[in-house]
């Protein structure tokens, strides 16, 4: 009898554990769906690395998301979904995101995320201007400022932000690093005028619920200018002279020192244009000796992060690198800052 009772108790305990486990699983699934039950409709324009990553993560977290792509890329997504491979682990995931080939004036979304290269923004502005969606978020390198965007869309609809990943596209496969779930530096999103609005808070909440680490920024224009200026200071040597081979830049000796000097010169240029340095922690670069910066650039150039995060992007985005270089050249002229190192980097052949 004791044995039977013990067996029954074990059986009961096992079944109880199984029942509890099932309840926990159901609660977890329900909680995930409740957390992403905003019901916002989002369109991601652009199916390169960052557009694909953004759309896939939103989709995986039950957000109503559509991606706009064209030509062969559209056919790939419609047939096989968005295929993303981690650049380090080689683990692949597939997200069956809905894909469309055009945006009609009457197609209304709560947010349109414009995730294309700097040199591709202008051609999209007429289509976006004709569309009635209220919130258009530009997630691009932007040194020149939002003037062109505001001229096309007015002051009420545009918002600004940045991207979550880096990498390249190999055929239908996106090889990427990021997003990082525990990033110490969340990606900033903000209004052009720096105000904190309900639509901005809603957007940031949506992104965070999809594990896309985002934060509200009151200085997003300055952040984008700072980032683009630093990238553009390297665009000359990367895109023009070394064919986006960052390891070759690291081995170059005098040229990597020149690039380091150019990085330092970006700070007085930004200041003369009325921009803050955002994030403020980057100000340390302005007082770091050139030989130390050159050493750090060599380390970065020879790292896997440098290859995936810089070289891959520059290889597939050479037109953007050239556009950013032109933006920096214009900024230097407007600022009145001599910036001899920047001028030499941008004039490399």
Q: What is the pTM of this model?
A: 0.87
Q: Tens digit of pLDDT for each residue in 235-253?
A: 766 666 888 888 888 888 8
Decide which of 175, 194, 218 is a domain's last residue.
218
**201 and 113 in one domain?**
yes
Q: Tens digit of pLDDT for each residue in 267-289?
A: 999 999 999 999 999 999 999 99
Residue 270 belongs to domain spanning: 223-346
CATH of the domain at 47: 3.40.50.720
Place of tokens 């790939």: 76
User: Are 16 and 85 in contact, with CB atoms under 8 Å apart?
Assistant: no
| Number of domains the chain contains | 2
- Between CA 200 and CA 183 the distance in angstroms is 20
Mean of pLDDT values over 152-178: 95
Is residue 28 in some structural domain?
no
**180 and 61 in one domain?**
yes
Decide which of 196, 218, 240 is a domain's last residue.
218
Is residue 14 in some structural domain?
no
Is residue 101 in some structural domain?
yes
Is residue 79 in some structural domain?
yes
**80 and 191 in one domain?**
yes
pLDDT at 236: 63
pLDDT score of 9 more than 60 = no
Residue with the larger pLDDT of the pair 306 and 3: 306
Q: Tens digit of pLDDT for each residue in 109-128?
A: 999 999 999 999 999 999 99
pLDDT at 238: 66
Mean of pLDDT values over 41-54: 97
pLDDT score of 7 more than 50 = no
Is residue 150 in some structural domain?
yes
**237 and 208 in one domain?**
no
Decide which of 218, 236, 267 is a domain's last residue.
218
């Amino acid at each position: 009898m004791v044995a039977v009772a013990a067996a029954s108790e074990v059986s009961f305990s096992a079944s109880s554990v199984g029942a509890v486990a099932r309840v926990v699983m159901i609660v977890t699934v329900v909680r995930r769906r409740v957390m992403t039950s905003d019901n916002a409709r989002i369109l991601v324009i652009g199916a390169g690395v960052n557009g694909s990553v953004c759309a896939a993560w939103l989709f995986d977290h039950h957000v109503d998301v559509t991606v706009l792509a064209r030509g062969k890329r559209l056919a790939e997504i419609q047939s096989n979904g968005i295929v993303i491979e981690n650049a380090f682990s080689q683990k692949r995931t597939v997200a069956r995101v809905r894909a469309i080939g055009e945006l009609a004036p009457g197609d209304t979304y709560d947010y349109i995320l414009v995730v294309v290269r700097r040199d591709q923004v202008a051609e999209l502005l007429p289509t976006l201007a004709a569309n009635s969606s209220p919130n258009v978020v530009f997630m691009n390198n932007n040194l020149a400022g939002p003037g062109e965007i505001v001229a096309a869309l007015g002051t009420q609809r545009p918002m600004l932000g940045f991207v979550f990943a880096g990498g390249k596209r190999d055929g239908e496969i996106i090889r990427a690093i990021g997003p990082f779930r525990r990033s110490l530096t969340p990606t900033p999103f903000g209004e052009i005028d720096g105000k904190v609005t309900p639509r901005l808070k809603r957007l940031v909440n949506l992104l965070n619920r999809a594990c896309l680490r985002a934060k509200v920024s009151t200085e997003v224009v300055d952040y984008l200018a700072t980032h683009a200026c630093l990238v553009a200071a390297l665009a000359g040597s990367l895109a023009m002279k070394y064919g986006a081979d960052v390891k070759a830049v690291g081995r170059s000796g005098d040229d990597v020192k020149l690039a380091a000097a150019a990085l330092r010169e970006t700070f007085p240029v930004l200041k003369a244009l009325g921009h803050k340095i955002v994030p403020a922690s980057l100000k340390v670069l302005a007082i770091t000796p050139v030989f130390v910066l050159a050493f750090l650039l060599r380390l970065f150039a020879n790292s896997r992060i440098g290859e995936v995060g810089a070289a891959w992007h520059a290889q597939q985005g050479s037109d953007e690198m050239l556009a950013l270089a032109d933006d920096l050249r214009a900024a230097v002229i407007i600022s009145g800052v001599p910036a001899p190192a920047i001028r030499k980097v941008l004039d490399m052949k």
